[in-house]
Amino acid sequence: MRSAVNTPFPVSHGSAAQRIESELRRLIVALELPPGVRLSESDIAERHGVSRQPVREALIGLARTRLVEIQPQRGTVVVKISVRKMMEARFVREAIETAVVRRACSSFDRQSRERINDLLEMQEQAARRDDHAAFQRYDELFHIALAEGAGCPLAWEAVQDIKAHMDRVCQLTLPGPEAMLPLIEQHRTIMSAIDAKDEDNAAEAMRRHLTEILRALPQVEAEHPELFSS
């Protein structure tokens, strides 16, 4: 069994379908499979050394989260980024996560609180060495720990798919440590408000955090129009 001490990434799941889905999701979020490219069941199956069936199940899973679009009898493509839908996604995510931090102000699990400190530290290290993948993974773990600490792990599930799309945008807007470090500072601001049990400040800090993430969206759309839908 592979050790995971040096990486925040979990080992691959059980079935081949789940493995491939995770792998494809990673590639899509990292924009290594850019929006618009066609995905062929046969190609992917061959590349991964499995049959087409598990690949098909993986693509169905990705289609459910709107990361790919399966066009019946035609093909499967990585969906392009829609500014409108990103704005809607931010709205929904803001609604959920501001509610979570408000709840966190009432009571927060001590163990999760300590874990978050560790996560923030490791996320900062990832940012300083310009490691996007690790940065985003620790960001994910931060929001997971937040939801769990607030006693609402189900909230994470609702945010998960939305976050995947936003992370795809972040891949374009976070070109270096100087762009990542402020986000970590925002995380710390959120936690300070939670520690102080200041609901309004915590919610506002989260709101600003999520707004900030998509601030540069119009700019990257101008720079990479081929990645966006009309």
Partner DNA sequence: TAGTGCATACTACCATACAAGCGTCGACCA
Partner DNA sequence: TGGTCGACGCTTGTATGGTAGTATGCACTA
Contacting residues toward a second copy, per CB under 8 A: 14-15, 17, 53, 56-57, 60-61, 64, 72, 85, 88-89, 91-92, 94-96, 98-100, 103, 151-155, 158, 162
Instruction: Name residue 78's beta-bridge partners.
Output: 68
Helices marked H in 4-131 — which ranges?
16-29, 41-48, 52-64, 83-106, 110-128
Instruction: Report which residue type is found at 195.
Output: D
Instruction: Give min distance, CB of 211 to a second copy, in A.
Output: 14
107 is a contact residue toward DNA (CB under 7 A): no
136 is a contact residue toward DNA (CB under 7 A): no
**Nearer of residues 32 and 200 to a second copy, judged by Cβ:** 200
Residue of 24, 59, 169, 184 that binds DNA (CB under 7 A): 59
- CA 174 – CA 177 distance, rounded (Å): 8
Instruction: Give min distance, CB of 3 to a second copy, in A.
Output: 24
70 is a contact residue toward DNA (CB under 7 A): yes
x/- map, 18-57, DNA, by CB under 7 A = ---------------------xxxxx-----xxxxxx-xx
Residue 168 neighbours by CB under 8 Å, 6+ apart:
28, 29, 31, 35, 81
Lateral strand order in the sheet of 68-71: 38-39, 75-78, 68-71
- CA 208 – CA 106 distance, rounded (Å): 21
Q: Are 25 and 168 in contact (CB under 8 A)?
A: no
**Nearer of residues 127 and 206 to a second copy, judged by Cβ:** 206
The option from a second copy, DNA, none interacting with 200 (CB < 5 to 8 A, set by class) reads none
76 is a contact residue toward DNA (CB under 7 A): yes
Instruction: Report which residue type is found at 94.
Output: E
Burial class (CB in 10 A: 0-12, 13-18, 19+), 222: exposed
**Nearer of residues 72 and 230 to DNA, judged by Cβ:** 72
Single out the segment in contact with DNA by CB under 7 A; choices: 74-82, 113-121, 155-163, 191-199.
74-82
Q: Which residues bind DNA (CB under 7 A)?
A: 15-17, 39-43, 49-54, 56-57, 59-60, 70-76
